[in-house]
């Protein structure tokens, strides 16, 4: 699709918005029907955790995909994808402090300080907050494009921390966190200036 009309773009955005809510709807449905495994809190934590990473990877895929395909309108979907990563991160964190720790904040702080995978996950969550807060057009204007872009490069650090958090917490089968790691490394390599320029050149040729 070279360039969708503004009506088509609205349709694409609405479809994406609804699709991004499907994992939550599925989770709620499974919860209501008692299909969330014997440990529902763990199941909620795991599923929301998976979806943070999925949305982070999708967000990071937008620029390379746009360059390879020449579909520049994909950029218009990036903010929504990033905000859904934040949305699932809020659900994930809320599940942890509410359903796992019952708002025992002293225990939460102890956990953050003592368990490295929680420290890393929490740091990633904290870094997501300024990105979500500055995601609006008015904030891009207020910060200036260059400063905004610099700040939003944090998303790579967040994704690295997210993958580390996952790698750290799994006890035996590390295949899935490793798969996320491989996807992330590929996306990071595509950002290397010389490779990035080659992709842009390929697309122009």
Interface residue with ligand HEM, options 74, 89, 131, 155 (CB under 6 A): 89
Q: Of the two residues 6 and 172, which places its CB atom closer to ligand HEM in the complex?
A: 172
Q: Is position 131 an interface residue for ligand HEM (rule: CB under 6 A)? A: no
| Whole-angstrom Cα Rg for the chain | 18
| Cβ-Cβ contacts under 8 Å for 111 (sequence gap 6 or more) | 101, 118
x-marked contacts with ligand HEM along 46-75 as a string, rule CB under 6 A: x--xx-xx----------------------
CA distance 122 to 129: 11
CA distance 183 to 177: 10
* Helix (H) or strand (E) run with residue 160 in it: helix 154-169
From the list 159, 168, 155, 31, the residue with the least C-alpha distance to 95 is 31
Count of residues touching ligand HEM (by CB under 6 A)? 22
| Cβ-Cβ contacts under 8 Å for 2 (sequence gap 6 or more) | 70, 71
Q: Is position 155 an interface residue for ligand HEM (rule: CB under 6 A)? A: no
As measured in angstroms, the least distance from the Cβ of 114 to ligand HEM is 12
Interface residue with ligand HEM, options 87, 121, 131, 155 (CB under 6 A): 121
Interface residue with ligand HEM, options 23, 64, 82, 162 (CB under 6 A): 162
As measured in angstroms, the least distance from the Cβ of 97 to ligand HEM is 7
Interface residue with ligand HEM, options 122, 152, 164, 184 (CB under 6 A): 122
């Amino acid at each position: 699709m070279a360039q969708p009309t503004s009506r088509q773009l609205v349709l694409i955005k609405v479809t994406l918005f609804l699709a991004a809510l499907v994992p939550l709807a599925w989770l709620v449905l499974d919860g209501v029907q008692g299909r969330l495994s014997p440990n529902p809190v763990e199941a909620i934590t795991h599923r929301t955790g998976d979806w943070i990473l999925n949305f982070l990877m999708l967000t990071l895929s937008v620029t390379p995909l746009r360059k390879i395909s020449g579909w520049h309108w994909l950029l218009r979907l990036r903010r929504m994808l990033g905000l859904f990563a934040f949305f699932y991160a809020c659900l994930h964190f809320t599940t942890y402090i509410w359903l796992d720790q019952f708002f025992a904040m002293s225990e939460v702080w102890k956990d953050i300080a003592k368990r490295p995978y929680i420290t890393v996950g929490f740091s990633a969550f904290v870094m997501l907050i300024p990105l979500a807060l500055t995601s609006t057009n008015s904030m891009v204007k207020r910060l200036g494009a260059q400063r905004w872009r610099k700040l939003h490069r944090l998303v790579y650090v967040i994704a690295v921390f997210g993958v580390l958090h996952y790698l750290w917490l799994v006890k035996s089968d590390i295949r899935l966190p490793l798969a996320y790691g491989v996807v992330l490394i590929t996306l990071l390599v595509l950002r290397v200036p010389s490779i990035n320029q080659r992709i842009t050149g390929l697309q122009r040729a």
